[in-house]
Structure formats: C-alpha cells, structure tokens
Amino acid sequence: MITAELLSEVKALIQEDRIVEGENDHLLGNNGLVKVYPQTEEEISAILKYANENGKKVFVEGNGTKRGFGGLSESADILLSLADYKGIVEHVVGDMTLTVKAGTNFKKLQDYLAEHKQKISLDPFHPEAATIGGIVSSNDSGPKRLGYGSSRDVVIGLRIVYPDGKVIRSGGRVVKNVAGYDMNKLFIGSMGTLGVFSEVTVKLRPLPKYESLILLFFPQGNMEEIKAFAQKLLDSTMEPVTLELLSPALSEGLTGQSCYTLAIGLEDVETSVQYQENFIKSIQPENTNMKILTLTDAQAFWNQFYSLHSLESESLITSASLKIGVVNMDVTQVMKESQLLGDSHHLEVQAHGGLGHGLCQVNLKGSKEDVVSAIQQMRETVAGLGGYVVIKHLPFALRQEVDTWGPKPAHFFLLEGIKSKVDPNKVLNPKRFVGGI
Amino acid sequence: MAVKGIKSKDRHILNLANIVGDARSIIYHKEDLIAYDCDGFTLHKHLPKAVVFPNNTDDVAALVKYCSDNQLPFLARGAGTGLSGGAIPLNGEVIISMVRMKKLLSVDFENRRAVVQPGFVNLKLTNSIADKGYYYAPDPSSQYCCTIGGNVAENAGGAHCLKYGVTTNHILGLEVVLPNGEIVEIGANGIPDAPGYDLLGLLTGSEGTLGIVTKITVRILKNPEAKKTVLAYFDKVEDGSQAVSDIISAGIVPAALEMMDKIAIEGVEAAAFPVGHPKDIEAFLLIEVDGIEAGLDEQINNIMEVCKKRNVREVRAAETEEERARWWANRKTGFGAMGAISPDYLVQDGVIPRSRLPEVLNNINNISQEYGLRIANIFHAGDGNLHPLVLFDARIPGQREAALEAGSACLQACADVGGTITGEHGVGVEKREEMRFVFTDEEIIAQTDIREVFNPFNLLNAGKLFPTPGRCVEIKRELKEKETAIS
Ligand SMILES: Cc1cc2nc3c(=O)[nH]c(=O)nc-3n(C[C@H](O)[C@H](O)[C@H](O)COP(=O)(O)OP(=O)(O)OC[C@H]3O[C@@H](n4cnc5c(N)ncnc54)[C@H](O)[C@@H]3O)c2cc1C
C-alpha cells in the first residue's frame, strides 16, 4: 500500500512515536495520509526536503483551528503538525521582544507574559487552542486591531523552513528594521504556502494599567444613529481600542440583550479611561442604554467573545465563518445584509465588525444550500462596496462549490510568480490559497 | 514628431522627450545632469543619461515601457534626500523624477484615509488636514521636503514612530508601475488584508527596485488630545541610556524618546536652532508622551522618577508650545547641524536591542578613537535606532575612506549584539556589503528571487540593496541552473 511505503520512508526522518496514520473523512478536509509531529527544526527541514525531492505534498497545521480555512484537496501525503514544536526561545523582558517556536499555544503565551506585565498585542479567535504560527500564517485578528494593529504590525522576525528544507530568516530581533526587503510581510497571511514558520519574533506591549468596556445598546437598531455616533467618537480625540458593532444575536449571546450593540474598549491609565468613559456618556445618543464592564469583567467578556464561534462541525448543520473587508463605515451595510440573509435563508447569524478598521466576521449556521447561497449573495453585495469576502471556515465538501478567496486579483500573476520562485514544486499547502496557489 | 527645443542626436532622448511632450520635462545636457549625480549620500556619484518629469501615471507607464523595451536602465527619484544612495544612477539610468506628480488627490476623514501622488511632500499632508485636527504620522526629520513616494520606497521612520509605527504601518494602498510598464493597483480602496500575499508590505521599503509608485493611499490619524514633552540632562551617557531602558520597561509607551550625546549637542548648539543646553552635559533625552490629557501627568511623573533614579542633572517639562517646538527644531535639524562643527559628516543608521545601548555606545566610542574621527550620536533611543554621525574632512587625504570604514564598523557593532544595519535610511548603495553582517548568502538569494518576479531584467534601480554575489553564491547558482537544465 502507498501509505505503508510512505510511512516507512517518513520513519527515516523522524522518530516513530511522532508519526501517526492520518484520519480519513475529516469533515474539514486538509488531511494527510500520515501525520507527523516534529520536535526540532531539523526534523521539519528533513520532512520538507524529502517531500520536495520525492514529489510529495505537505499540509501544515498548528493545532488545527483553521482547518476549515481554504484548501481544495482532501488530503496531502503528509500532514505536518507544529503542535509539538513549542516553547519560548528567548524573552528579553527589558527589550520587550519575544521569540517563540511556532507551535506555542497563544493563551499560554499571554498568561506567561502577563506575569511580566506584558502582552502580544493581537487578539485572535480561539486563543486557548490556536498557535502563534497559525495565527500569523492566517493573519487572524480581532476587534482590538483598531488599537494595536495586526500581525504585520507586531511580527518583527521569522525563521522559515523553505520547501527545499533550507532555513531562511526574515527581519530580526529589533523593533525597527529596513535591511533588505521586508520579507516578514510576504509570509504573514500566506497560509503556509511559502514555507513553514519555525520561530516567530514579536514586539511586545505593556499590559494596560486599566481597562474598561462600554456596551452601548441600540434597542431600535437604527443604523444611521449607530453610524452617526461612531463618527462622532472617531472624530473626537478619544482613543478606543475597539469600536465593534455586534449583531443582535451575537449581543444576546454575550450580554443577554438582543439588539445592535457597540463594544467600545478603553485601555490606558485609570484616569484616562474614566475621562473617556465620561466623554462617551456625554455624547450617548437618545434611546440607547449603556453598561460599563471594568477589568476582569471586561476581560471575561472578550474571552467569551473570542471563543464563541464553535469549531465543531456537525454533518446536519453547516457552519461557516466569513471575514469581510470593507471601508470602515460600510461595516454597517455588511451588518444589515447579514441580518437580511439570516431571515431570507433561515440561518442563524452572528456578526460583528469594526467601525474603525472595516473588518467584519459573519458566522452562519443552517442548511448546506442556504449557507452557500447566502455566501454568494454576500459576495455580490460586498463586491458592490468595493470590498472582499474570505471564507475562514467551511466544510471541505462545500469549498469546492464556493471559492474560499473569491475572484483572483488583477495582479494575480505576481502572487503566482512569488509562489513559483519559493515553492516551484508546489509542495506546501497546494490549492489552499488565492486562485488555487 | 520631434519635440520643439530639443537639441540632441540621441534617439532615446528624442523619444523620451516625445513621451513627456515638451522640452521643459526633460534634462539631458551634461551640465544640467550634475545636480542628479547623487542624492543625500554624496560619497558616490554617477551621471544619469537623462532626467524626465512625468505628469501622470500614464506618462510613467509609457516611460517605463520605453526604457524596458530598449534595455535602458532607469530609476525613480523623489526629493533626493535619501541617505543611502538609493537614487544614485549607478548605471547611467534614465531618472524618472516624481516631483511634478505632487497632488493631494482626496481626503476621506470619515474613513481616515487620504490619497496622494508620490511627489507630494510629507509635511504638506499634515498641513493640509491639520485644520480638521488630523495628521499623517510618519515624520522623518526631512519631512518638510521629502516625498511620500520616497518614504514608501525607504519605509521611512521618524521620531514619533516609536508609538505610531513607521511608513509601512500607515500605507493602505498603492498604484504601481511595474518594470515592464504595466500598471497594477494593490490594496484597492485602502481596505486592509485584501486576499493574496501582502504586496503592500513587500513593496514598502523595497527601495525603488520592484516598481515605481504612482499613487498612495495612506492612513491619517486624529491628533492626540494633548502632548507633554520632557528634557532630561545627564552627566553620564550610561545613565541616560539606562533611563531609556527603564522608561520602556516601566510600561510607558512614549510617542518619542530621543537622545543626543555631547558632540551632537555641540553641533546643534552651534547651528541655527540652539536651545541653550548646558555645554558640559554628556547626553540629553527628549521624551514626549501624548494621548488623553487626563492620563499624561501620571506618565510624566513616572518618567521624571526614572530619570532621577538614574542621576539626572536636570529634568523639566516644556512649559509652552513654543518651547516644545524649539526643542524639536533643535533635534530635527540635528544632522545638518553637524555642518557647523565639521566640514563633512556621514550619517549611519544601525539598530540594536534597547537594553544593549550602553555597551554599543561604548564600542562606538572605541571605533571613534581607533579611526581618529569624532563620532556624534543622535538617535531614536526608544526603538534602539542609532544614528552615529562620523565627522571628517574630505580635503584631508584618507579621511573619506576612514569615515566610510568607521561607519561600517559601527554597523558591525550593532549587528554583533543582535541588531541590524539600517532602521530607516535603507541599504541603497552604501550598505550593500554590510547586508552580509546580518544575512547569509541563501537569505540574500531568497530576496533577489523575489526581485526577479517583479524586475526580471534588473533594469529598474540595479546595483542597490544587495551585495554583489559572493563567489560561492555564483557557483551555487550555476549548479542550480545545470541541475534544472538536466532534470
Ligand atoms: C536631513 C535629513 C534628515 C533625514 N531624516 C530622516 C528620518 O528621520 N527618518 C528617515 O526615515 N529618513 C530620513 N532621511 C532620509 C530621507 O529623507 C528618506 O529616506 C526619504 O524617505 C527619502 O525621500 P525622497 O523623496 O527624498 O526620496 P529619494 O531620495 O528621491 O529616493 C529614495 C529612494 O526611493 C526611490 N523612490 C523615490 N520615489 C519613488 C517612487 N515614486 N516609486 C518608487 N521608488 C521611488 C528612489 O529610487 C530611491 O531608491 C533624512 C534625510 C535627510 C537629508
């Protein structure tokens, strides 16, 4: 059998107890005939080199939280998991920089850093399960992006195992660096199609001295009012770290109130946060209610928020998650459209979007046909706004029907050119990315 | 059809003139070209073939296509303030000057973005939106004259980049003319995370070697509610640099944290914007915090305490906006001020982990002694970005070379502690060889491989950014080519 042969060849590269036979029929696809758990960079390198030289295909995963994110082939030869390649390589507390192995769990990292009153200023989904490598590779970000940016603002260096097994460093360990091309950027968000991260270096931020979360409820759900308020706040000198609009269903799950709700995060020294709270109270629109959560209560809200969308896949109900990018204020349009689609397609819809950065996440649940049709309709609407829809989560079978990434950009030839320079044999995560890269 | 007023027999000059359409849009006489033989890095010079001044993207595309079809090397030039020689026509390039493409195309306050042409001057953007309380964050000291196109090419930084990030953190979209003349738009509408590899991030800081930027969408920010600025005088450099580390590790994120040493202070005090700093201090820190006014006093108090623990001689906050502006003018004109105390100077641009500051400053001091040249230090201490200024006199035989060597030795000192060779000025011509201090041959090839995707014939700004390939690299290349030829 082919698998048996492959198994024996892989055994020559990595300890036997680090190899398991792949699972079949995973609802999310992205399987491997064999699955390996390397513990050293040399092992990662040896596996890639072997694959590159022997015409094998490799899928890469951290801890599998993004298994439903792209990918048009059900299985590769090898599924390379970084879940056991973890740990801190170097944390220079005074420099506020951190180098970690790619498979390190994000929540554990943040807990460790909190002991030093520091944090990685990213707020990805499923932090308790996600790995730093997976987060950077898929460029996942949450509402606090408004205040702190995303992976491209945080990552200062990478060690990457190229498809031919060589190890390339990009960036470095300093917070400012323009030596050569900014290669970090190329790999962030590349969905593992160019190389396997072995180490990630990030710059850290101090934990905020104080934080609060203002929940502003709009029971009448008038979008124009919401927009007007958001504009007023954004045009003030206040410095919210989130300005996230939650759909009624999402707000109900998190706050018990089923109406459009703005989640306004404030993080600074206490006097500043309180001053901002007062300002926001002073411009609070009529017909709205306000609730303020502070410190651990605010944190608890966010923790629940990040893990809300279940990654479990059931065979009867289809769940999908969309990342939608539009111009900031068009977030309100996306929210409206999600509500309409929920009604017309009998879907459970939970949506949120940042009025300060233009990125939305829309989670859908319902019958297969309805989910697919809703995604297509959403794509049309968003295309009309000049934005894009990327499907962050969808069962494998449906990814054949509706493209994860949407239409190819006009400059696709450049993307293809880069892929073929770095991975000419298309070893890594084939068909996982834009335009079948 | 020939353009009126062009007196040249060179068909390329005639054809290029035809593309830009009039005699005022091309320079080709030798005596006029001399002004373009270098940029802010003056230790290396070469004459261009011609300088052309396009008015719009289509002009640029046509010029590029012409050069590409005729194998003429070419490059883009903004204001020519680059400090690493990125705009020097090493190969007798046709220089495509962007200075006439200098419009502010649109401002969208609601969505916090502005669209500019590449020749638009950095500071003009802030000035154009200041009445509404907005600004453009990246603030290189040259901002009164450098172009945003040049900033994108160099991924320029500035004093306030400590808190707000460098150019790349503020670029939302680019229109680019590729080296074959094709126009591409990346990051349409300025929406973040568009599907695909992050070409915005790759192009920013590519030093004009991947394409010519013809339109830029940038993020604009609301002015902070308040700013407070502190000046701290130290009797020992060591104490000043320790204070830098202490401020950062106390969890304060200053908007700016700048440092100058004794020689630098001597320079700025002798130049156009003296502040009256005491003559006998060894270093000062210029620290600015900004944000919600209610929160600033607490930060300022923390900073003052930190400085006191580090034996500060005097520390005080600016009392008026006028005083604050004077301190900044003194700092921002720091490079040029060296002209007041030395006939020539060379600016370097290394970066180190902040905590290694005392050690590296000490090493730079040793380098100064070894080469017998004074080295002033002006730097963005908060992010570890050093600007050693090597003072020399080019009229004295050997000093020019010694200055270059001393500069390189400073970069080696930065690389030795895990730092890098440039934080904001770019590699250009100047630091090509120093790239080897931080990258292996394989890592350099990984980068030139990317260049080949955009710029396969290397006609655009050739000879910049990367060292001439070492022998081993060439051999490897050959082997690789043979292998692929066989397989
Ligand atoms: C006194 C002084 C102080 C300075 N202070 C700082 C500082 O604080 N921080 C900092 O980062 N830099 C600083 N610089 C360096 C310099 O100002 C910056 O690098 C600036 O970004 C260069 O802009 P420019 O328009 O002058 O570009 P140029 O010097 O004309 O060109 C620089 C590079 O960009 C390329 N280029 C220009 N326009 C385009 C375009 N449209 N498309 C593609 N490529 C293009 C050129 O080919 C060249 O490689 C300083 C320089 C001086 C002289």
* CA atoms within 13 A of residue B342's CA, in its CB half-sphere: 28
| The residue count for chain B | 487
Summarize the confidence of residues A172-194 as an average pLDDT: 98
- Residues A121 and B251 sit within 8 Å (Cβ to Cβ): no
Summarize the confidence of residues A179-192 as an average pLDDT: 98
pLDDT at A2 over 80: no
Interface residue A423 vs chain B (CB under 8 A)? no
Topology classification of domain A318-399: Alpha-Beta Plaits (3.30.70)
pLDDT at B365 over 60: yes
What is the pLDDT at residue A100? 98
CA-based nearest residue to A194, from A149, A142, A158: A158
Summarize the confidence of residues A352-366 as an average pLDDT: 97
Summarize the confidence of residues A30-46 as an average pLDDT: 97
Query: Residue B487: which pLDDT band, with cuts at 50, 70 and 90?
Result: very low
What is the DSSP-derived secondary structure letter of residue B185? E
Residue B351 to residues A52, B421, B455: CA-CA distances in angstroms? 37, 6, 29
What is the pLDDT at residue B447? 98
Pocket around ligand 1 at a 6 A CB cut-off: B 39-40, 75-83, 86-87, 98, 118, 140-142, 146-147, 149-151, 153-154, 156-158, 207-208, 212-213, 335-336, 424-425, 461
What is the pLDDT at residue B1? 62
Q: Percent of chain B, pLDDT > 90?
A: 93
pLDDT at B475 over 50: no
Predicted confidence (pLDDT) per residue in A210-256, tens digit: 999 999 999 999 999 999 999 999 999 999 999 999 999 999 999 99
pLDDT at A129 over 80: yes
Predicted confidence (pLDDT) per residue in A286-302, tens digit: 999 999 999 999 999 99
* The ligand 1 atom nearest the CA atom of B156: 11
Q: How far is the CA of B88 from the centre of ligand 1 (A)?
A: 12
Distance CA A382, CA A404 (A): 15
Contact B191 A325 (CB under 8 A): yes
Residue B137 to residues A23, A99, A235: CA-CA distances in angstroms? 51, 28, 16
What is the pLDDT at residue B486? 44
Residue B186: list chain A partners with CB under 8 A: 411
Distance CA A305, CA A282 (A): 27
Could you tell me whether strands B171-177 and B212-219 are parallel, antiparallel, or unpaired per DSSP bridges?
Answer: antiparallel
Interface residue A346 vs chain B (CB under 8 A)? no
SS3 content of chain B, % helix, strand, coil (to 5): 40, 20, 40
Residue B154: list chain A partners with CB under 8 A: 178
Q: Percent of chain B, pLDDT > 70?
A: 96
Residue A329: list chain B partners with CB under 8 A: 110-111
Which has the higher per-residue pLDDT, A1 or B72?
B72
Query: What residue ranges do the domains of chain A occupy?
Result: 4-84, 88-206, 210-307, 318-399
pLDDT at A349 over 50: yes
Query: Residue B164: which pLDDT band, with cuts at 50, 70 and 90?
Result: very high
What is the pLDDT at residue B110? 92
Query: Residue A313: which pLDDT band, with cuts at 50, 70 and 90?
Result: low
Residue A227 to residues A231, A240, A389, B34: CA-CA distances in angstroms? 6, 16, 22, 56
Residue A150 to residues A327, A357, B310, B328, B423: CA-CA distances in angstroms? 17, 11, 35, 31, 21
| Angle separating helix axes B357-371 and B399-416, nearest 10 degrees | 160
| Domain A4-84 indexed as CATH 3.30.43.10 | yes
Predicted confidence (pLDDT) per residue in B235-255, tens digit: 999 999 999 999 998 989 999
Residue A91: list chain B partners with CB under 8 A: none
Predicted confidence (pLDDT) per residue in B15-26, tens digit: 999 999 999 999
What is the pLDDT at residue A310? 72
Class of domain A210-307: alpha beta
Instruction: For each of the domains in chain B, give its residue range(s) and CATH number, in order of start.
Output: 11-97 (3.30.43.10), 104-222 (3.30.465.10), 224-341 (3.30.70.2190), 342-487 (3.30.70.2740)
| Domain A88-206 indexed as CATH 3.40.50.300 | no
- Residues A180 and B466 sit within 8 Å (Cβ to Cβ): yes
What is the pLDDT at residue A377? 98
Query: Residue A34: which pLDDT band, with cuts at 50, 70 and 90?
Result: very high
pLDDT at A130 over 80: yes
Residue B192 to residues A152, B211, B219: CA-CA distances in angstroms? 11, 21, 11
Query: Residue B471: which pLDDT band, with cuts at 50, 70 and 90?
Result: very low
pLDDT at B473 over 80: no
Q: How far is the CA of B224 from the centre of ligand 1 (A)?
A: 27
Interface residue A226 vs chain B (CB under 8 A)? no
Contact A276 B251 (CB under 8 A): no
Locate A327 and state its tokens: 């111009």
Predicted confidence (pLDDT) per residue in A73-90, tens digit: 999 999 999 999 999 999
Predicted confidence (pLDDT) per residue in B189-233, tens digit: 999 999 999 999 999 999 999 999 999 999 999 999 999 999 999
Distance CA A207, CA A27 (A): 39
Q: What is the DSSP string of A112-150?
A: HHHTTTEE-S---S-TTT-BHHHHHHHT---TTHHHH--
What is the pLDDT at residue B85? 97
Same fold? A210-307, A318-399 = yes
What is the pLDDT at residue B299? 95
What is the pLDDT at residue A314? 67
pLDDT at A6 over 50: yes
What is the pLDDT at residue A110? 98
Residue with tokens 């007062």: A278
Summarize the confidence of residues A146-174 as an average pLDDT: 98
Q: Which of B185, B193, B257, B476 to mutate to test the interface with A (most CBs of A within 10 A)?
A: B193
Interface residue A186 vs chain B (CB under 8 A)? yes
What is the pLDDT at residue B188? 83
Least confident of A299-313, A374-388, B127-141: A299-313
What is the pLDDT at residue A175? 95
Predicted confidence (pLDDT) per residue in A364-408, tens digit: 999 999 999 999 999 999 999 999 999 999 999 999 999 999 999
* Cβ contacts of B408 within 8 Å, gap of 6 or more: B433, B434
